Chain A
């Protein structure tokens, strides 16, 4: 149980293009999903929190116009990196908190490796 998928697992794009990453909770409903970024050999950095049906809450220093988040349903959230540049290259990971979770556990997706040329 508590499986989260991400698609795509890897994406390479040209500078200036936009990339969409999907995060799905496969066997549970998630009212809240989180998007993280991870640099090599570093811990996870929270980018934003998304709640189903409402606007995402972004962490300080994260550009909301560059990283568009949509949480359209209880099982799907998307992150769109707009006008991507090489400095946006990173490992992006989503997580989902099951509806009704007792202790706020988050279950993570496998991650998406974005490379911007």
Chain B
């Protein structure tokens, strides 16, 4: 069974204080790893797809990286508007093809 674990559960940063969120996964065969951002009371917003170890993707202050066991979401010089819950997910294969297994999320709070 696929498993996805995110850490930390919550992260408080000062504006400008860079940090990283972690997503560890155990899957039978990696078919991609997705990062989403979710604001309170809204649906998840798609950020990145990573598919192979060593791959990196960037968007504004966010950079996602992937190894064979985990993914990191690096946040450089965060701003208060980056405050949100960040979710990672992996798609299942076999009879569960396409279903996503989500981590529990990391709640990021950036203080001005």
Contact = CB atoms under 8 A, between A and B. Distances in A.
- Pair from one complex: yes
Interface of A: 2, 4, 6, 32, 34, 42-44, 46, 49, 91, 93, 95, 97, 103-111, 113
B32 A46 contact: no
Interface of B: 31-32, 34, 36, 41-46, 49, 51, 87, 91, 97-100, 102-105
B49 A105 contact: yes
B102 A109 contact: no
Contacts, number: 57
A26 B24 CA distance: 33
Contacts of A104: 31-32, 91, 97-98
Contact of B44 (A2, A42, A44, A46): A44
Contacts of B42: 110-111
